[in-house]
Amino acid sequence: MPEIKIVTEVAGRICATPVQVGGTVADGDDIVLVEAMKMEIPVLSPASGTITSLLVKLDEIVAEGQAIAILAS
């Protein structure tokens, strides 16, 4: 199975992680929510598959373009 690095397009604080390692997601599902400028911005799954690694934790500060999860599709 090919692995896909999921990256965030905005900098901010991780305010929710609705998925867990080993969980399955569909194309377009929320992987994490990033709080930026008092808004919660979802980082979406680019494909269906299984989350093999979650690279961020709740309340962690992330940079634009940072990898947040690995997806096996």
CATH architecture of 3-72: Beta Barrel (2.40)
What is the pTM (predicted TM-score) of this model? 0.89
Q: 33 to each of 39, 59, 71, how far by Cα in Å?
A: 9, 10, 17
Domain boundaries, the chain: 3-72
φ, ψ at 15 (rounded to 5°): -110, -10
Q: Which of 22, 16, 17 is nearest to 49 (CA)?
A: 22
What's the pLDDT at 23? 96
For tokens 């990033």, what's the residue?
A: 34
d(CA 68, CA 43): 9
Mean pLDDT (whole number) for 18-29: 96
In the predicted structure, residue 1 carries a pLDDT above the cut 90: no
